[in-house]
Structure 1
Amino acid sequence: MNTTNIYFVRHALPDYSWLDDATMPLTQVGRDDSLAVLDSLKTLFFDFCISSPYKRTLQTIEPLVYEKKLKVHIDERLKERVRGNIGENGDVLLKKRWENFDFHEENGESMNSLQQRNMEVLSKILEQHRGETILFSTHGAALSSMLNYFDNGFGYLDFIRLQCFTPYVLKICFDKNDKIIDKEEILIIDKK
């Protein structure tokens, strides 16, 4: 069987006090935990590496990229969900976005939009890199939206579970028809 193995890496712990989402760096704890990502994946050979353009996703895979001498392909479509005006009802809005994928807060992005742009990238990778092993650095909402695409039973509570995992590595094996045939959680660092 000609399987494609993708290792999705959800970024390590960022500095949430940072105002600009795109340049938000990892905390020192997050940088230290990026070494756990290296340790969990260092025996693998990667044919292709792709990442969100955001600083925290790049910093999370930086030790692995350096050790493996990987070229990182950056795709703007893999950025985090555009956050709008959340106010004090952040948790209520979060749940509402999962109940209605077209819903978005003022100036924010819907889960449908997030899912569509991430799936455009993932579909192209599956088409162009069939049978290869891929490193894919991403965000919690983006990864959750892709998991929901393949299994609409993946919902709000599953996303809430992943929210605390920073970093998190999930291996997904796809068959030649781009169907998921296996999933394995490789690394979970729970920051509850």
Structure 2
Amino acid sequence: MLKTIGQVVFSTGLQNPKFTSQDSKGQDYEIRTYHTTNWVSTTVSGAEQDAALSAGFKRLFKYIQGDNENKAKVEMTAPVTCLINPGEGPSSESSFTVSFYVPEEQQADPPKPSTPELFVESRQEFTVFVRTFGGFANAENTREELLKLSESLKRDGMSFKEVPYYRVGYDSPFKLINRKNEVWLFKQEEGKE
């Protein structure tokens, strides 16, 4: 328990999903291809972005503390991702899928969630454009960084999907300096919508 809290508080030594970097035309973003991996996820609908992320994180934290079918502890990993699928129109609900990466030693057989709100997600290989920013991420600065990333990609003639997109965090809320956040936009594959 203390080790997990320490890892969450200090965000050091956490496992990260493996990816392959690709050459980028711009200095203000990266291109990464993430390998096929398992994540434990939960979807929160209709809430405001920051509230949804908080609610999802709390559900997932219980899971890694042993609230799963095996009663197994799961190491904290980074990053925490939030796939944001905005609702179409002013009164339609957005959905937010918050996810923790399953550690290497449990990738082959992740502990099954014991609550129906959680599920194990097998993410097939995917390529994203990544913009990194510091400070404490919130809905407003995430939107600003997403717009900057979109503008950079348009400037460089890159094909990307505008939705859904990821808001990604690497640090505990207790870490005050040198924070790392990202926004990810999916690369548009040739000949695919």
Q: TM-score, normalised by structure 1?
A: 0.31
Structure exhibiting the larger radius of gyration computed from Cα positions = 2
Q: TM-score, normalised by structure 2?
A: 0.31
More strand by share: 2
More helix by share: 1
